Amino acid sequence: MTTTQPSTSERRAQYISEGYIVVPGLVDEADRAAIVAELPRFARAEYPVANPAPVTDAMTDAEAVGTMLAVHFPHWVSPAIAEMVRHPGIAEVLGEITGAHLPFWDGGVKCMQSMLFAKPPGLPGQAWHQDERYIPTRDRSLVGVWIALDDADEDNGCLRVLPRSHRPGIIHPLGDHGRPDEFDPGEESRGFDPTGEIPVPVSAGDVIFFNGYLLHRSFRNRSADRSRRALVNHYCSAASLLPWMVRDGLDIGVADYRVVVPVTGDDPYADRGLEDPPEQVFLRPAGGEYTDAQEIIATDGQL
């Protein structure tokens, strides 16, 4: 894979046109290793976990990590991952592209979510979806930042995208995917032509940036012995209100999720303050639902 970096304006133009860009080698080996080292700590519940995995001391780290597909919101409790949310190279690219669809954007960016994927051999992918469906910014500033912790290819279930599918700026309806062998529980976007879908193979340390309206999915990890680990963080314009995980009874027009991390620029809502994150993260177990754990956190009184 080439390591030639495109210019800032080329990256921005490709992001606007295609809905995603790949920046090779953005995360160095030390940072990559620091994130990878966090996975067994979550599997062994060395950090506070709402739904701990069935892991014993006798298990190797690989066996322990093999019990889970992903960790939700690891940056709430892991200093290494909190640092990665504000990684300078990633912040620089976000400063170029986050408001690429907003002519008067002032450069402010905040992070609201992280997910640490283990995806060991045999574990399923995610069916077609648009992240904007779940994290509503509605101003086209939502960016997924997919940090490859392993080489990822079609064999171990790399990210797959439908280039240019972000262009209409519409949210597609959802339905059952009916393929539990391929995808984890969760619905699938419908009502679009998937012709033109492409895999996005990357090397460890490469970073994919994709628009929140871009249709994407991943397949099962079919490899015999290769994990497909990735840290995926989500960001948006600091000016976006985020009616996400809205408390009962709150006016949706003013609801604003404030468990966020300021990354670049000014926070125009700074006078509201930030909210502390919940004290526990939750795991998406291998082969299991995770809604209950999400509810535990959502009713923890802090979201």
Ligand X SMILES: O=C(O)CCC(=O)C(=O)O
The residues binding ligand X (CB under 6 A) are 115, 117, 125-126, 131, 144, 159, 216, 218, 230, 232
Task: Give the three-state DSSP class for 165.
Answer: coil
Q: Is the Cβ of residue 127 or residue 239 nearer to ligand X in the bound state? A: 127
At its nearest, how many Å lie between ligand X and the CB of residue 187? 13
Q: Is the Cβ of residue 40 or residue 144 nearer to ligand X in the bound state? A: 144
At its nearest, how many Å lie between ligand X and the CB of residue 113? 9
Task: Give the three-state DSSP class for 117.
Answer: strand
Q: Which residue is nearest to ligand X (CB)?
A: 218
Position of tokens 């300021």?
262
Distance CA 83, CA 261 (A): 11
For residue 76, give the DSSP letter: G
At its nearest, how many Å lie between ligand X and the CB of residue 230? 5
Q: Is the Cβ of residue 142 or residue 259 nearer to ligand X in the bound state? A: 142
Q: Is the Cβ of residue 117 or residue 282 nearer to ligand X in the bound state? A: 117
Q: Is the Cβ of residue 202 or residue 263 nearer to ligand X in the bound state? A: 202
At its nearest, how many Å lie between ligand X and the CB of residue 19? 13
Distance CA 208, CA 230 (A): 11
Position of tokens 């404030």?
258
At its nearest, how many Å lie between ligand X and the CB of residue 100? 19
Structure tokens that stand for 113 in this block = 């979510």
Structure tokens that stand for 272 in this block = 């509201």
Strand bridging mode 198-199 / 207-211? unpaired
Secondary structure element (H or E) that encloses residue 22, with its range: strand 20-23
